[in-house]
Structure 1
Amino acid sequence: MNGADVIDLAQESIWVLIKVAGPIMMIALIVGLFISLFQALTQIQEMTLTFVPKIIAIFLSLFFFLPFMGETLGTFMQHIAERIIGLV
């Protein structure tokens, strides 16, 4: 394995990380933005109001995106295993 292979593997790892974590993080960002807007408009500064809706949204999105995340990580692991045994 030379330097170019290591860079390709690192780049692919970063893309897998973005594909797996990106949808959940975007949902948390959007829900947090709406909660912040709601708090600014109503001047309600309750601390639990920021956490509870985000936690619920993240759990629901995890149930929705879990098959995609598993497939992406499984494909990446197969690719890594093939590189380890020398098929690619």
Structure 2
Amino acid sequence: MSNILQSSLQERVLLLDGATGTMQQRLNLSEDDFRGKEFNDHSIDLQGNGDILSLTQPAIVRQIHNAYLQAGADIIETNTFTANRISQGD
């Protein structure tokens, strides 16, 4: 654990960010938004695959992270809830 994290934990409770997927859903993104240019010709529907937004819409992911930081979160997690072979195979 880093010294900054350890010293901060000695001083106070740290706040973790919230549900990234819920924030993504609130944006009502289209299939084209999820695909971006990178997956324009992909054969499988990608709408709802929040992890793919890290590649196709990094500005949206950054916007969500920034919203949590502005709300007072001390720690933000990666946008990788289902970024694994099994989940992506579904």
Fold shared per TM-score above 0.5: no
More helix by share: 1
Structure with the greater alpha carbon radius of gyration: 1
Give the structure-1-normalised TM-score: 0.31
Give the structure-2-normalised TM-score: 0.30
* Structure number with higher relative contact order (C-alpha < 8 Å, ≥ 6 residues apart): 1
